Structure 1
Amino acid sequence: MRISASFDAGSIRVVSLDEESGVIHLEIPNDHQSEFAQWFYFRLEGAAGETCELHFDNAASCAYPEGWVDYRVVASYDRENWFRLPTEYDGKVMSLSVTPEHDLMYFAYFEPYPWERHLNLISTAQMHPDCRVHHLGETLDGRDLDVLQIGEDADHKRVVWLTARQHPGETMAEWFVEGAVQRLLDPADTLARELLEWAVFYIVPNMNPDGSCRGHLRTNAAGVNLNREWANPTMERSPEVYLVREAMRETGVDLYLDAHGDESIPFNFVAGSEGNPGYHAGRAELETLFKQVWLATNPDFQVKHGYTPDQFGEANMTLSTNHVADYFDCLAYTIEMPFKDNFDWPDEETGWDGERSRQFGASVLFPVAAVLRRLGKKA
C-alpha cells in the first residue's frame, strides 16, 4: 500500500500509513512560499479490496476550512471519469472510508484539468480558421503563456477578454473556458457565428501554468496570488498578470470575464465592480442585463447567493475585475463556480464537475451576446 503525488498537479503529504489497519493520515501542503493550502491530488496504490480510512489531519488549518462543510472528495480510477465519495468533517479533521475496486485509485479536491489537456485545447483550437494563438511570454518556471484570438480584429468589432485559473487549483475555470472555446469554434452554432461577425475574443485558458503544474491552490511559482497583482504587476513577481495586462492595453477591452471557483458557496454566481470609484449607472445596466439573460437561459446560474457587493469606492483595485472595469470603463465580471455542488441542481454522483463547468462555459455566450448587442458595433 502506497500514496503517491509525483505527477502533474499532484499534492499531498503522508503523515502515517498503517497497512494492517488501513488507516492513513494525510496533510494538505501549502503552496510554495505561501500560506495557502487546500488543493490535493494523489493516488492510492495496492489497496484493491481493502477498506481504507483517509484522514486529512490539517483540514481545519487550511485556507478555507468552511469549504469542507458539505464537501465530498472527488475520486477516479481512470482519471477520465470522476465521482464523489461520502466525506465527513468534524471541524478539525476531514475523513472518508473507501474500499478501492482496483490497484490504483485517484483522489482530488476537484476534477483536475491536466496540463496535457491544456496543450491539446490550444493546439486543437489553432486548427480552426477563425483562431490564432499568440505567445505572450514565459512564466517564472519557463512555461508558455498563450492567448487564443478567436475572430478577426476589425475597427467595428467589440473586444471580449476571458481569463481563467489565476488561482490554479480552481480547475473548473479551465473546464468553463473549454466549453466557451468549443462553442465559439463550432461552425454549426449560429450564435457563435453571429458573435464572430461583430466581436473578437481573446481567451487565456490558464493564467497560472506554474501553479497548475506544481499543484497549488492560489499562487504562482513565487507564491504570489495573481488576482491581487493587477494594480502593479512586475515581470519578476507576477509576469503572468503583467503580460496579459499589457496585451489588454494593446487591444482594448469592451467586456471582460474572469472564471474562478469558490470553496464555500455551493452555487454559480457573478461578482461585479459595484465598489469601484468609476462605477456608474451605465455599467450597472449592463450588469443587470448580463444576469437577466443568463438566468433566462441556464438554470445553473442564480443571483440569490454570492458575495456581498463592496460599498461604492471601497473595492480592492488589485483584483482583475475591478482593475479592468475602471481602466477600460467596461463591464467586467468574476464568474464563480462551486467546488462542492450546485445545491439548486445537485448531482449525487458527480457533484459540480468538469463537464457541468464546460457546459456552463458554453452557455455564457448568451449573456455575452446580449451585452454586445446593447453596446452595438463600434463607430
Structure 2
Amino acid sequence: MQISDNFDSGNIRVIEASDPSNIQLEIKHDNQSDFYQWFHFKLQTDPAENGERPEHVMHIINAGDAAYVEGWEDYQAVASYDRDHWFRVPTTYDGKTLTFTLAPEYDSVYFAYFSPYSYERHQDLVHSAQMSPDCQLQVLGQTLDGRDMSLLKIGQEGEGKKTIWLTARQHPGETMAEWFIEGFIDRLLDEDDGVARALLNKAVFYIVPNMNPDGSVRGHLRTNAVGANLNREWLEPSMERSPEVFLVREKMFETGIDMFLDIHGDEALPVNFLAGCEGVVAYDERHKALEDKFKEILLAITPEFQDDRGYEKDEPGKANPTVGTNWVGNQFKCLAYTVEMPFKDNDLLPDATVGWSDTRSSLLGRDFLTGVYHMVDELR
C-alpha cells in the first residue's frame, strides 16, 4: 500500500500506513499559515486477494484542530477512481479525528475534501475560452510562484454597456468556485443561448477564474504562496504579499464595475446563499433594492438557492473593508455579492451519492447567468 500527495493540489502527511484498517494521516498547513483543511491524496492498494480488497479505514488525526471544525459535522469525503467522477464515502467525526472508509474496487483511488479543479484544467478553461470571437485572454501579471494571473474579457465595450466582474477561488481549497465559473463561462460563450447573446449586447464581463493559482497548486485551503488570505487583502494589497489582489484591483480601476460576484465555498453551512456588503459606508436604499431583487430572481430561477440561512449581516459602517465584496461594493458603489456553496450537500435537494458536487456547482453557475440577465438593466 502506498499513499502519495506528490501532484497538483495534493495535501496529506502519512503517519502510519502499514495496516489498511488503521491508516493514520494528517493534513499539512498552508505555507506560512495556521490554516489547514484541504486534503487530496492517492491510495495505491496492495494486490487483491481472491479478487477482493479489504476495507481501508483512514483517520485524519489532526482534523480537530483544522481551520473550520464545524465543517466536519455531517460531512462526507469524496473519492474517485478516474479523477473525473467523484462520489461520497462513509465518513465520521468524533471531535478530534475525521475517519472515512472504502473497500476499493480498483488498484488506485483518489480522496479529496471536494472535487479538485486542477491547474491544468484551469489552463484548458481559459485557453479554450479565448477561441471564442467574443473572448480575450489577458495576463495581468504573475503570482509569487511565477504563475499567470489570467483574466477573461468577454464582450465588447459600447455605449451604455454595463461592466460585470466575477472572481473565484480567492481561497484555493474552495474548488466548487471554479466549477461554478466553468459553467458560467460555458453558457456565456454559447452562441445558441439567447440569454448569453442578449447579455453580451448589454454588458462586458471580466472574469478571473482562479484568483489564487499558487495556493491551488500547493494544496492550500485558504492562502497564497506566503500565507496571505487574499480575501483580507483588498484594502491595501501589495506586489510583495498579495500581487493577485493588487493586479486585479488595478484592472478594476481601469474598467469600473457595475456588478461584482465573488465565488466561494463554505465549510459549515449545507446550503447555497449570498453574502452582501450591507455594512459598508456607501451602502444605501438603492443598494439594498438591487440586492433584494437579485435574491428574488435567484429564488425564482433555481431551487438550489435559498435566503433563509447564511451569514449575519454587518451593522451599518461595521463591514470589514479588507474583504473583496465589501471593498468593491464600497469603492464602486455597485451591486456586490459573495456567492457561497457548500462542501457538504445542499440540504434543500440532498444527493446521497455525490452531495453537493462539481457538476451541480457548474449548473448553478449557468443558472446565475439568467439571474444576471434579469438584473443587467437595473444596475445603473
Give the TM-score normalised by structure 1. Answer: 0.98
Contact between 1:289 and 1:367, CA under 8 Å: does it hold in 2? no
Q: CA RMSD in A?
A: 0.9
Q: Which amino acid aligns with 1:91?
A: G
Q: Which amino acid aligns with 2:171?
A: H
What secondary structure sits across from 2:180 in the alignment?
helix
Q: Equivalent residue for 1:32?
A: 31
1:3 aligns with 2:3: yes
Q: Distance in 1 between matches of 2:379 and 2:358?
A: 32
Q: Equivalent residue for 2:308?
A: 304
Match of 1:109 among 92, 109, 113: 113
What secondary structure sits across from 2:201 in the alignment?
helix
What is the aligned length? 375
Q: Equivalent residue for 2:78?
A: 74
Q: Distance in 2 between matches of 1:145 and 1:228?
A: 18
Q: Equivalent residue for 1:12?
A: 12
Segments of structure 2 that go 5 or more residues without pairing to the other structure are none
Q: Equivalent residue for 2:133?
A: 129
Matches within 5 A, 1:214-229: 214-229=218-233
* CA offset digits 1:71-96 (Å, max 9, x no partner): 00000000001000010001111112
Match of 1:282 among 275, 286, 307: 286
Contact between 1:289 and 1:370, CA under 8 Å: does it hold in 2? no
Task: Report how far residue 50 of structure 1 moved.
Answer: 2.1
Q: Distance in 1 between matches of 2:8 and 2:213?
A: 11
What secondary structure sits across from 1:75 in the alignment?
strand
Q: Distance in 1 between matches of 2:194 and 2:82?
A: 36
Task: Report how far residue 286 of structure 1 moved.
Answer: 0.2
What secondary structure sits across from 1:301 in the alignment?
coil
Contact between 2:190 and 2:196, CA under 8 Å: does it hold in 1? yes
Q: Equivalent residue for 2:187?
A: 183
1:248 aligns with 2:252: yes
Q: Which stretches of structure 1, 4 residues or more, deviate above 4 A after TM superposition?
A: none
Q: Distance in 2 between matches of 1:82 and 1:370?
A: 33
Q: Which amino acid aligns with 1:75?
A: A
Q: Equivalent residue for 1:262?
A: 266
What secondary structure sits across from 1:289 in the alignment?
helix
What secondary structure sits across from 1:161 in the alignment?
strand
Q: Equivalent residue for 2:122?
A: 118
What secondary structure sits across from 2:270 in the alignment?
coil
Match of 2:148 among 132, 144, 153: 144
Contact between 2:153 and 2:206, CA under 8 Å: does it hold in 1? yes
Q: Which amino acid aligns with 1:128?
A: S
* CA offset digits 1:20-61 (Å, max 9, x no partner): x53100011110000001000001112451221110101110
Q: Percent identity?
A: 56
Task: Report how far residue 154 of structure 1 moved.
Answer: 2.0
Q: Distance in 1 between matches of 2:246 and 2:322?
A: 12
Matches within 5 A, 1:90-101: 90-101=94-105
Contact between 2:259 and 2:379, CA under 8 Å: does it hold in 1? no
What secondary structure sits across from 1:258 in the alignment?
strand
Q: Which amino acid aligns with 1:17?
A: A
Matches within 5 A, 1:363-378: 363-375=367-379
What secondary structure sits across from 1:14 in the alignment?
strand
Q: Which amino acid aligns with 2:14?
A: V
Contact between 2:32 and 2:226, CA under 8 Å: does it hold in 1? yes
Task: Report how far residue 18 of structure 1 moved.
Answer: 1.9
Match of 2:340 among 319, 336, 352: 336
| Higher mean C-alpha deviation, range 342-351 or range 95-104 | 95-104
Contact between 1:164 and 1:174, CA under 8 Å: does it hold in 2? yes
Q: Distance in 2 between matches of 1:305 and 1:143?
A: 37
Matches within 5 A, 1:313-328: 313-328=317-332
* CA offset digits 1:244-285 (Å, max 9, x no partner): 000000000000000000000000000001111111000000
